[in-house]
């Protein structure tokens, strides 16, 4: 049966922590920290210059050497103390910035891993592992969507149901590896033959399905959707037509017919 119910992904704390919004927020926080650090540096330099000038300027006006030396020594000591304090502050801020950069790099790396894992999970869930085509579940879901779209907009919809004749003989004579090569070869040809809006599906074994939205039956000669049909009814009708055509074909074929030929619905 066609199952159109999809389970919504369950959010996890790990995914929430490495969301793009969090990464952007961390980048903005890092930019603000750097701007504040540079602004503080400029401000401290100006204050130090002003402090030295304040300490030394009165002594210069009095022109007293002893007083000038005293004020200069005091100014130098104050300057050294402020520089030391500011150096400690700079080291601490650099440590915080380094830690933020490291955390951001880890988040970006984790996000890349999550994206790669999501891609692998999608391939496992939606694609056939042998051929790379969509699997039965994905194909049935897409067929239900296309039927709904055809009903809503009154557009044509055609499906192609196919299988390979003689695949069992290939497996028995040459092994399953040869049979897999035949399946993969046909899947590749089918994928190249359809349009970008179409969908090629491996239903299982040697059975394939091609979904052709907005394609009239007279354009290709296959099974077309009839208004009111469910996805399963359309597939059943295509399946019945396929085996009726196969029976008719066997009666008219000679015993020397070539195996592993794609057999479509007529």
* 224 vs 36, higher pLDDT: 224
**Under a CB-based contact definition with an 8 Å cutoff, are residues 211 and 234 in contact?**
no
Count CA within 13 A, CB hemisphere, residue 9.
9
Dihedral (CA of 59, 63, 65, 67) sign: negative
Residue 6 scores a pLDDT above 50 = no
Residue 189 scores a pLDDT above 90 = yes
Model confidence at 76, in pLDDT bands (50, 70, 90)? low
Tokens, residue 113: 């891993």
Look over the chain and give the mean of its residue pLDDT values, rounded to a whole number: 75
pLDDT tens, position by position, 197-247:
999 999 999 999 999 998 877 767 777 888 888 999 999 988 888 888 777
Spell out the domain ranges in the chain: 13-126, 136-264
Tokens, residue 48: 């130090």
pLDDT tens, position by position, 87-132:
777 777 777 777 777 777 777 777 778 777 887 787 788 899 899 9
Number of H helices, E strands in the chain: 8, 5
Looking at the chain, the whole-number percentage of residues with pLDDT higher than 70 is 70
**Superfamily per CATH, domain 136-264:** Reverse transcriptase/Diguanylate cyclase domain (3.30.70.270)
DSSP state of 258: P
**Under a CB-based contact definition with an 8 Å cutoff, are residues 4 and 146 in contact?**
no
DSSP state of 260: S
User: DSSP characters for 47-102?
Assistant: HHHHHHHHHHHHHHHHT-HHHHHHHHHHHHHHHHHHHHHHHHHHHHHHHHHHHHHH
């Amino acid at each position: 049966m066609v199952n159109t119910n999809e389970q919504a992904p369950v959010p996890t704390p790990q995914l929430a922590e490495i969301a793009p919004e969090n990464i952007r927020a961390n980048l903005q926080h890092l930019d603000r920290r750097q701007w504040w650090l540079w602004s503080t540096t400029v401000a401290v330099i100006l204050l130090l210059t002003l402090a030295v000038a304040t300490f030394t300027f009165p002594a210069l006006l009095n022109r007293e050497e002893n007083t000038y030396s005293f004020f200069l020594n005091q100014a130098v000591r104050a300057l050294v103390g402020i520089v030391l304090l500011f150096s400690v502050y700079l080291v601490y801020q650099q440590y915080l910035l380094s830690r933020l950069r490291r955390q951001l790099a880890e988040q970006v790396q984790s996000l890349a891993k999550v994206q790669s894992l999501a891609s692998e999970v999608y391939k496992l869930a939606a694609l056939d592992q042998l051929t790379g085509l969509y699997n039965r579940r994905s194909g049935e879901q897409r067929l239900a969507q296309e039927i709904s779209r055809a009903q809503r907009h009154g557009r044509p919809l055609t499906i192609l149901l196919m299988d390979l004749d003689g695949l069992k003989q290939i497996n028995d004579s040459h092994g399953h590896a040869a049979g897999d090569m035949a399946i993969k070869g046909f899947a590749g040809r089918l994928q190249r033959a359809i349009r970008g809006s179409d969908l090629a599906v491996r239903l299982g074994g040697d059975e394939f399905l091609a979904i052709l939205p907005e394609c009239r039956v007279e354009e290709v000669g296959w099974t077309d959707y009839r208004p009111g049909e469910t996805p399963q009814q359309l597939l059943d009708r295509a399946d019945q037509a396929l085996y009726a055509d196969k029976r008719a074909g066997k009666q008219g074929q000679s015993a020397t017919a070539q195996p592993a030929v794609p057999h479509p619905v007529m």
